[in-house]
Structure 1
């Protein structure tokens, strides 16, 4: 569905990139000249059934091919791959394709997540549909599966970064227990995978993103203006997260960063990364802090 990319370009995979955070993160890697594989289920806007609907029921724009085209337009090489991350066989085929095309993978960004249409409704979890638990399948389990495949490639080549797109919901109450468990689980994946990856040249990190400018967040501002209007005034462009992940992987102390849950806005300041020339605020004081690395290990 696209070309193989420029010789020598770094190769990234961003899962769940038809729209939202994934689409912007993929564009961000394109701006840095990466060859970027983007996955999703949408071939036409709204084709991914309930996944492609806004909070108001409107059809959200975005397809994997459109994202790949935007990556290329931004300066990289986009490769669109239709992939349901709830299907392990499709995920295995995805990594086989990357291995055939390039023989390497430098960056995996686990972003694919099931977003239930009641996610931001202010009601207890038992009054929402049971289907909201799907975020633990495509969102948590699927991230483990993709990371398993990526680690096998990256350890063999002796380099790479496995990144998880997480949020302050891993610590505070945010959108209910299913969402919170998924984010906390991603943070723990980074922590424990880093332990296993130590000394291989591969690192794992979880990045807490701030409020993002996405299709859904713009609809959320209209649906719940009192809750989202203020946040979006200083919201991050999702391309910012790609630039942060690239900077982490190039940092001289990358091994020390491995296993950490990092607040994107904070590590960006440390590494000299800005969001279109702007520093973004950290919400640590309002929403809480990541758990520190724990050196204890039990086998």
Structure 2
């Protein structure tokens, strides 16, 4: 029997990030407090980048999400421990002046920006699934639009003038689902719009960035085992499989490391412009770049669900 440890050992060489791959590169990961944003920041650091990490939860102040255990300071420390340089900057990305201040600091301290990752969200506590649009409180709905769309627009508007000074910049819009998987309704009017918008943002930015040799993509994790999701299922990263009894698709869930490795591989790819304008999943990136999740597996829940939606009867184990 092949154990997770065996798988990890076999793929260890594949998953070792080229330490010089992003050396000298400057990244801004907006929304790096936890989950995908934190993992992306850490993996960019592991590839040698200097990473400015932003978010609203610090060791002194907690955002509306209410999770005091995950802070941007801790994310920055993890980036540095991974081999990069992590710099935490408390920022509310719905406040243009705060975002401008971050960009001005990066310009003052580094003189360039090579990678922008828009992973701003923090709206899960507002979700009312299986609720008609007219039954959802308007303020709750508009807050989701602000968190999932307006924050991304503000950040790109403020950061792109610095990013486009040099050719070859990369913008990553992190969302939930690809253009293909988001063709169906996402069970909440506001959530559906908020999570489809970054896909269109990447498409539009890809057109704008062509003239300066830049690349813009949307990236989605699969069934993400974020800190928040693990708590919701009453499990930890060590015993996460217990959650399968509550949701069978959880068998194809992935750790945040997976999407982090995907974005780092994309950022280090000198031919990444071939992806520009597309929406990509962590599973797609894993196949293209040959990395695995932390346990040596290669889950692809979106591919599984597409087969399932088409009327096939795919085997879960074949997609991990």
TM-score class normalised by the smaller sequence: 0.7 to 0.9
1:32 and 2:40 correspond: no
Secondary structure of residue in 2 paired with 1:162? strand
Normalised TM-score (structure 1): 0.83
Secondary structure of residue in 2 paired with 1:156? coil
1:41 and 2:56 correspond: yes
Q: In the alignment, which residue of structure 1 is the partner of 2:165? A: 156
1:145 and 2:157 correspond: no
Find the partner of 2:292 among 270, 274, 294.
274
Question: 2 CA distance for matches of 1:67 and 1:164?
Answer: 19
Q: In the alignment, which residue of structure 2 is the partner of 1:51? A: 65
Say if 2:45 and 2:80, in contact at 8 Å, map to a contact too.
yes
Question: 2 CA distance for matches of 1:116 and 1:273?
Answer: 29
Say if 1:17 and 1:67, in contact at 8 Å, map to a contact too.
yes
Question: Residues 17-42 of structure 1: CA distance to partner in whole angstroms, max 9, x if unpaired?
Answer: 22222222222222222211111111
Question: 1 CA distance for matches of 2:134 and 2:65?
Answer: 21
1:256 and 2:274 correspond: yes
Question: 1 CA distance for matches of 2:198 and 2:44?
Answer: 21
1:86 and 2:94 correspond: yes
Q: In the alignment, which residue of structure 2 is the partner of 1:283? A: 302
Name structure 2 gaps, 5 residues minimum.
Answer: 1-19, 236-242, 308-320
Question: 1 CA distance for matches of 2:116 and 2:305?
Answer: 30
Name structure 1 gaps, 5 residues minimum.
Answer: 1-5, 53-58, 289-299
Question: CA RMSD of the aligned region, Å?
Answer: 2.7
Question: Residues 100-159 of structure 1: CA distance to partner in whole angstroms, max 9, x if unpaired?
Answer: 111111211101113142416443344343323212112211112212233212221112
Say if 2:198 and 2:218, in contact at 8 Å, map to a contact too.
yes
Question: 1 CA distance for matches of 2:268 and 2:36?
Answer: 22
Secondary structure of residue in 2 paired with 1:43? coil
1:70 and 2:78 correspond: yes
- Between 232-241 and 79-88, the greater mean CA deviation after superposition: 232-241
Q: Kindly report which structure 2 residues correspond to 1:105-120, keeping only aligned pairs within 5 A, or say none.
A: 105-119=113-127
Say if 2:57 and 2:68, in contact at 8 Å, map to a contact too.
no
> How far is 1:182 from its partner?
1.3
- Between 116-125 and 171-180, the greater mean CA deviation after superposition: 116-125
